[in-house]
Amino acid sequence: KTRPMEYRMAQLEALGRFLDDKKQEILEATELDMGKPSFEAFFSEILLCKNELNMTLNNLCHWMKDEYVDKNLVMQLDSAFIRKDPYGVVLIIAPWNYPIHLFLVPLIGAIAAGNCAIIKPSEISKNTERLIAETLSCYLDSDCFAVVTGGVPETTRLLENKFDYIFFTGSPPVGRIVMTAAAKHLTPVTLELGGKNPCYVSDTCNVANVARRVVWGRFFNAGQTCIAPDYVLCTVEMQDKLMPALREAITEFFGPNPRESPDFGRIVSDKQFRRIRALLGSGRVAIGGQTDEAERYIAPTVLADVLPSDPAMQEEIFGPILPIVVIANMDEAIDFINARPQPLVVYAFSCDSKVVNQVLERTSSGGFCGNDTLMHVTLTSLPFGGIGNSGLGKYHGKFTFDTFSHHRGCLHRNMGLETLNTPRYPPYTQQKLGL
Ligand code: NAD
């Protein structure tokens, strides 16, 4: 039922109507869940999904086509091609930080590739979870697409079933649990995980521009972004120059009291709030540091002179705190990055493109962005995914379609011309061996 292109297109168009009709409710639900500013919700939860949807609708016909491949001399009259088959029933498990985007973008690819899907939104972003559970079925074919709600016990039960593909976005420890469950059925997985994304700032750069781009990426969604720059690596001289520029950018974006800004979000839960607040003891609070538990507010904060052994450097921050770790030079920054698990993204800022290229060349990460933050994720032409501890597999644009398609290698031979086959049949005479 899900295979014909018309069916896939109709379901994808229905997803587009879901985004249009429910736009206001999505903005309200993400506001209730984590005080997500409307612009940030519109940009990340709606606009980026629409881009993926339009690109898929415009290219699906082309992507679905068999891909004919090179042949050898003996097969000139045959066809050799790659068929893009759906896997079957796929499971999509999503986290809470971009609760619409992170189930919808994989779902676009799952539908485009002709699969059925079970969607498991995060129970932590409960208002958005409710919205998805109550309304998505009004748009999609309920024979083939279902939402399952719940937390750890429900997901554990769900994972006991045999799926044909599992697409998981979340933390590395839960990624391991998902992969272990998938291994029981030999189910292939994509794991979109997290980690600590380093941001190297060289001594030669436009400090004001760096500050604005880093502040935007770090404090977007109150820091609860898997690709946020997690910490800055720079020399002590650059730290001194960067600090006033970071302060200025924070004030420019969020005013003198960010707590009153409609453009600065809140932490999703009390548990996350306490975890992030405990990281404030690292280094020295140079900017911000104020908290309010009742509101789950943590001010945009910059920590100076943070040591690698400090708590803020032991785990993914996933909140509005930016530690600065002082290093002596670029080589030391690269060694620092390479001594840690491969991150989802490496950021490097410099007016000298050789420096940016050196950091790219000598490190390994899921993605890379020079002289900006987050923006690489907006390009549907780039694969998005992690490596090592930050994940396995890639998606966005055509990569999502490919992720959810089994590339079936097919050879369809001509029935005649049997004489061409005789050299490979027994008896294997000395003559056939060319002896
Ligand atoms: P999480 O791993 O706690 O939860 C993700 C999903 O897994 C949720 O739906 C949850 O219900 C389920 N889950 C949680 N514990 C489980 C268990 N024991 N067994 C089975 N299922 C379980 O992640 P989170 O807190 O929702 O999200 C934050 C993490 O996600 C961060 O590490 C962040 O970097 C990462 N993330 C990665 C990307 C990416 O694209 N790579 C995007 C967003 C978030």
Ligand 1 atom, smallest distance to 390 CA = 41
**Is 316 touching ligand 1 by the criterion CB < 6 Å?**
yes
Distance 247 CA to ligand 1 centre (A): 32
* pTM exceeding 0.95: yes
Distance 130 CA to ligand 1 centre (A): 18
Task: Report the C-alpha dihedral over residues 340, 346, 347, 353, rounded to 10 degrees.
Answer: 110
Spell out the per-residue pLDDT of the chain, length 435, in tens: 999 999 999 999 999 999 999 999 999 999 999 999 999 999 999 999 999 999 999 999 999 999 999 999 889 999 999 999 999 999 999 999 999 999 999 999 999 999 999 999 999 999 999 999 999 999 999 999 999 999 999 999 999 999 999 999 999 999 999 999 999 999 999 999 999 999 999 999 999 999 999 999 999 999 999 999 999 999 999 999 999 999 999 999 999 999 999 999 999 999 999 999 999 999 999 999 999 999 999 999 999 999 999 999 999 999 999 999 999 999 999 999 999 999 999 999 999 999 999 999 999 999 999 999 999 999 999 999 999 999 999 999 999 999 999 999 999 999 998 988 888 999 999 888 886
Please choose from 36, 52, 97, 271 the residue to mutate so as to test ligand 1's pocket, defined by most ligand atoms within 8 A of CB.
97
Give the residue, by CA position, lying nearest to ligand 1 atom 22. Answer: 152
Q: How far is the CA of 236 from the centre of ligand 1 (A)?
A: 35
* Mutation pick for ligand 1 pocket among 171, 196, 382 (CB with most ligand atoms within 8 Å): 171
* DSSP one-letter code for 121: -
| Contact assessment for residue 182 and residue 189, using Cβ atoms and an 8 Å cutoff | yes
Q: Give the CA-trace dihedral at 279, 282, 286, 289, to 10 degrees.
A: 30
Q: Is 315 in the pocket of ligand 1 (CB under 6 A)?
A: no
Contact 402, 408 (CB under 8 A): no
How high is the pLDDT of residue 420? 86
Closest atom, ligand 1, to C-alpha of 120: 9
| Residue 385 main-chain phi, psi, to 5 deg | 170, 175
Residue-wise pLDDT for 157-206, tens only, equals 999 999 999 999 999 999 999 999 999 999 999 999 999 999 999 999 99
DSSP letter for each residue of 270-294: HHHHHHHHGGGGSSEEEE---EETT
Ligand 1 within 6 A of CB of 177: yes
Interval between CA 169 and ligand 1 midpoint (Å): 6
CB of 212 closer than 6 angstroms to any ligand 1 atom: no
pLDDT for 115: 99
d(CA 161, CA 348) in angstroms, rounded, equals 43
Ligand 1: centre distance to CA 40 (Å): 20
Q: Is the CB of 151 under 6 A from ligand 1?
A: yes
- In this prediction, residue 432 carries a pLDDT of 85
What confidence score (pLDDT) does residue 236 get? 98
The answer to whether 327 and 203 have CB atoms below 8 angstroms apart is no
CA-based torsion, 309, 314, 320, 325: positive or negative: positive
Neighbour-count burial of 328, counting CB atoms closer than 10 A to its CB (0-12 exposed, 13-18 middle, 19+ buried)? exposed
Annotation says 192 is catalytic: yes
Provide ipTM, 2 decimals.
0.97
Q: How far apart are CA 400 and CA 404, in angstroms?
A: 6
Q: Report whether residue 193 contacts ligand 1, using a CB cutoff of 6 Å.
A: yes
